[in-house]
Amino acid sequence: MYLTVDIQEAGYAGDSNVLKDIRFSVGAGELVGLIGPNGAGKSSTIKSILGILHHANGRVEVSDYAYIPERPIFYDRLTLWEHIDFLLSTLEVDEEEFKLEAKRLLDFFQLSQRIHHYPENFSKGMQQKVMLILAFLKKPDLYIIDEPFMGLDPNATKKLLELITKEKQRGAGILMSTHVLDTAEKICDRFVLISNGKLVVQGKLDEVQEDSGLREGSLFDCFDALMERDHHVG
């Protein structure tokens, strides 16, 4: 497994625990969708995996990964190409092959004309594309992607899904947090549904359907039914 999560409880300084009994894994060539309503604990779960949620009890085992945050983060006063060059300096890879792949991805996302510009000044969609390029250049075992479709137009979304498919075929594991349930239903191998800081259900779509009582239901319908049930139980 490229990711094994066993969080007994976790929270922030001075607060009560926001996560409790979160357990799941991501294997090679597998895309797992982390879904749940706003405030459910998805971001806190990702922070626990990244080791930046310090008040946590449990165990997380994670392979070499690339993290794509919901809000793009860049170094001040570094151009797009300087970001790529800096990434290269941190990796033990063939420089010529790396730069060829970088140029291919820049063409793919139509950013070749922007390599000497500052990403901090780009639109949200363009910034998201830069984060994707940097992540896919790293070629990690595992991708941790937080709301990847935010700010992407339909064409860029299609291109992202192409790259995800290729990386799965390469054997990478992917954990993807998303609100876009119709897309998640089409592309994810399994789902981890979190609500109120705890695991509601996990499994393939047919398992989620069975657990929700909607044997033919869409992921959205199952999600809605499970949230309603969780609200009454809570």
The CA angle 36-42-45, to the nearest 5 degrees, is: 145
**pLDDT at 37 (0 to 100):** 87
**In angstroms, what is the C-alpha Rg of the chain?**
18
Q: Tokens 């109120």 belong to which residue?
A: 196
Spatial CA neighbour of 81 closest among 56, 106, 44:
106
Q: Are strands 55-62 and 65-68 parallel, antiparallel or unpaired?
A: unpaired
Using CA atoms, how far apart are residues 180 and 86, in angstroms rounded to an integer? 32
Spatial CA neighbour of 31 closest among 206, 222, 191:
191
**pLDDT at 93 (0 to 100):** 96
Domains and CATH numbers, the chain: 3-63+141-233 (3.40.50.300), 76-139 (no CATH)
Q: Tell whether pTM > 0.75.
A: yes
Spatial CA neighbour of 224 closest among 185, 184, 181:
181
- pLDDT average per 10 residues of sequence, the chain (234 residues): 95 78 97 92 93 88 95 94 97 97 97 97 95 97 93 92 96 95 95 94 96 94 88 63
Instruction: Give Cα 136 distance to the centre of its chain.
Output: 13
Spatial CA neighbour of 3 closest among 47, 63, 50:
63
Tokens encoding 111: 């950013």
